Structure 1
Amino acid sequence: MSDVTIQGNILTPAGWLSGAISFGERIAGIQGAAADPQLNGDDYIIPGFIDLHVHGGAGKDVMEGGDAVHAIARIHARHGTTSMLATTMTAPPEDIDLALTAIGKAVRQRGKNEARVLGAHLEGPYINSGKLGAQPNFARAATLAEVQRLETMAPLRVITVAPEIAGHLGLVRELADEGMRVQIGHTLGSYEDGVAALEHGAAGFTHLFNAMSGLHHREPGMVGAALAHAEYAELIPDLLHVHPGAIKTALRAIPRLYCVTDSTAATGMPDGEYMLGRHTVHKCMGGVRLPDGTLAGSTLTLDQALRNLVGLGLDLADASARVSTHAADYLGLQERGRLVAGAYADLVVLDRDLKLKAVYIEGERCDLNDA
């Protein structure tokens, strides 16, 4: 691959530079001088987005197996996501096996115009049946042997568990020792359960505020445990799942809060009915819901998440970190989520209105019109 050079306001770990970035598959070099990007009209060049919670898009759901994950990776790439975790639903074992087998194949072979699939986020079935949210009711307790079997199908980079379920606290430690990022989610657990899980190696919280016990001043709940103790947590900033005031609270409390889409098959599609695992969900007016009105994932993309964060008052550098760098750091990925020499050339180019102009994935320019 021959090197490409583009110019603009480049966001580096040391701050903004006005200059040029050269890259092939990886970044070869960055030249420029420190500059305030607000003082000129050049494009913004920032790290490609990293989404650790993706169920679907383009009418496809991860649980379909087959080639669905490739279509999902393509539509999210068109919105600036350069790497992602394909996310499963709570489901019968055969459904999870089908999805993970397809995810494993996608990890090994990235197609043209596709975001890099880094592995799986196993969101269930090891959750509390009393806090399903939009998950089908196939919740069950986990065993290390079963998780190890699933790991043979696809890399399990993140796994959501409810720590209050009998046997799960010890399992959190075992999974963390195996290198998995264990997240607390879909839980009725108390503040004390959350603190204990963190002490046993849990690293984050799944879609903070949603599908977990809430904050009360005499019963702080799982939200209270996150706000008081978490270094990392994921949050859906579509402005439907979480009120802007709660987002601002989390931003003040959790140093490396990062954003996910929790996107569904309805992403990028017209209003209508779509599948989310074994559930039928309905997209209407930008939201995705079960028949009873329960929010069921989103239609969010990370370029819109970035604009939402800036709209809430974050500067662009901070917003960029929360849709890219923090997620990379959470997974221990030093070669993604930052624009430095030697890192993968995953980057996006934005105009002055924060609209996408170009997306590069491992140095290859993505066709933003590819469906």
Structure 2
Amino acid sequence: MSALLIRGARLFDGDTWRDDAVIAVADGRFVPASNAPAGAEVIDARGLLVVPGFIDLQVNGGGGINFNDAPSLKTIERICTAHARFGTTALLPTLITDRREARTEAIAAGKAARAAGVPGFLGLHLEGPHLSATKRGVHAAAYVRPMDDTDIRELMGALAGAGPTMLTVAPESTPVDAVRRLVAAGGVISLGHTDCDYDTALAYIAAGATTATHLFNAMSPLGHRTPGMVGAILESGISAGLIADGIHVHPAAARIALRAKRGPGRIFLVTDAMLTIGTDLADFELNGRTIFRRDGRLALADGTLAGADIDMLSSVRYAAEHFDIGLDEAIRMATLYPAEAMRVGHRKGRVAPGFDADFLLMTPTFDLQSTWIGGQKAHSA
């Protein structure tokens, strides 16, 4: 694997900015500049920014295909390639509610992608089918169902070999003991598509759920007498994904949530992107229904939102401009915080010795010049 020595950049390492930085890469990881291997390729990055690569924990598709369309190794490769064009260096291909066989295929594809070392593949996100019927959103009603023992056995098998895995479940359809078992096996349990009340949410958090899926969307809202799932997320200290496109969440609601959020968990950015990313496609099919692409919005004919038509670079820009947090925190919401939510914060989300060499070269106006995964160039503008 090639070695790199990057000189002269303005670096955001995950904590602070440093001018005229020297960054060294060897064997796919950042190393101290003094340890740069002899013969390393030198990159003159004067006038450019270096930031950690983006991490997206909810990616339905990209490059003209959704993971549900064909849950395979080839599909994962295509999705990862499509999102690298927009600065994403690690992602979770996301399978939404579908037939049982689709999940079995997705798990096998995830294991194959991990074995093949697909650049940009972090693990899987299985969103459903164990969701609330009343908060299912675009998820097909015919496939939404309670979790049973067969499901638990299959999911335990997935956790044994597909790498970091996020499971979005609703308390209405998932036994609390199943959450304990799946967490003990290494799963990241995310509560979502649920109409559960505040106390129920807290019980599932106590059982081991550590994240929530697309804050505000498809969940019981915050009321002054019924705090709901939103109240539990803000009060309990778990992490939560947020879609920053100005369509799924009003920027004022996002600003309020960011001010109110109790740690240690953080709100992180997700795209919930569909196959449209990196294409000029108009309408497409999902579970036999037409999804219409109009003015940055993806929806069924009745207006039900169906994922998002936004990439992570655009999400970071939107958050920086509209959430009153500045560029530094917007970058962390797309790098360090999702890494911590998936328990890989010890190796991803920062530009520092020992971390995976996933980084972006940007112009001073925050336009992407190139994407690097494991020290290898994955995309060049």
- Whether the 8 Å CA contact 2:156–2:182 is kept in 1: the answer is no
State percent identity of aligned pairs: 33
The one-character-per-residue Cα deviations of 1:313-366 (angstroms, maximum 9, x if unpaired) are 322221111001111111221111111112111001221221101111000012
- CA 1:175 to 1:47, structure 2 compared with 1: closer, same or farther past 3 Å? same
The correspondence of residues 1-371 of structure 1 with structure 2, limited to 5 A, is: 1-6=1-6, 7-18=8-19, 19-24=21-26, 25-30=28-33, 42-63=47-68, 64-66=70-72, 67-111=74-118, 115-137=119-141, 138-142=143-147, 143=149, 144-151=152-159, 154-155=162-163, 157-165=165-173, 168-254=175-261, 255=263, 256-312=266-322, 313-333=324-344, 334-368=346-380
Pick closer, same or farther for the CA change 1:81–1:14 going to 2, 3 Å. Answer: closer
Residue 150 of structure 1, CA deviation: 4.1
8 A contact 1:209–1:223 mirrored in 2: yes
Per the alignment, do residues 119 and 14 of structure 1 end up closer, same or farther by CA in structure 2, a change over 3 Å counting? closer
Structure 2 contact 164–342 (Cα < 8 Å) conserved: no
Amino acid aligned to 1:303:
L
**In 1, Cα distance between the equivalents of 2:125 and 2:289?**
19
The one-letter code sitting in structure 1 at the alignment partner of 2:364 is R
Structure 2 residue runs of 5 or longer lacking an equivalent are: 35-45
C-alpha displacement of 1:298: 0.7
The range that moved more, 205-214 or 136-145, is 136-145
**Matched length:** 356
For the 8 Å contact 2:197–2:220, the answer to whether it is kept is yes
TM-score, normalization by structure 2:
0.89
- When residues 2 and 92 of structure 1 are mapped into structure 2, their CA distance, relative to the original with a 3 A threshold, is closer
- The alpha carbon displacement at 1:226 in A equals 0.9
The aligned amino acid for 1:4 is L
| 1:271–1:284 contact (8 Å) kept in structure 2 | no
Shift of 1:280: 3.0
* Partner-residue secondary structure (3-state), 2:103: helix
Q: Structure 2 CA distance, aligned partners of 1:171 and 1:250?
A: 29
Quote the Cα distance in structure 1 between the aligned partners of 2:58 and 2:294.
21
The one-letter amino acid paired with 1:3 is A
Q: Which residue of 2 aligns with 1:38?
A: none
2:39 — aligned with what? none
CA contact 2:122–2:164 (8 Å) conserved in 1 = no
CA shift, 1:277, in A, is 4.7
Query: Is the alpha carbon distance of 1:327 and 1:45 closer, same or farther for their aligned partners in structure 2, counting shifts above 3 Å?
Result: same
**8 Å contact kept, 1:75–1:268:** yes
Match of 2:43 in 1: none
CA deviation digits over 1:32-86, x for unaligned, max 9?
xxxxxxxxx9322111000010000111010112322211110101111001111
Partner of 1:35 in structure 2? none
Contact 1:86 1:119 (8 Å CA) reproduced:
yes
TM-superposed CA distance for 1:211, in Å, is: 0.5
**C-alpha RMSD of the superposition:** 1.8
User: Could you say if the C-alpha distance between residues 279 and 154 of structure 1 is closer, same or farther in structure 2, counting changes exceeding 3 Å?
Assistant: farther
Partner Cα distance (2:288, 2:155) in 1: 21
Query: Secondary structure of the equivalent of 2:110?
Result: helix
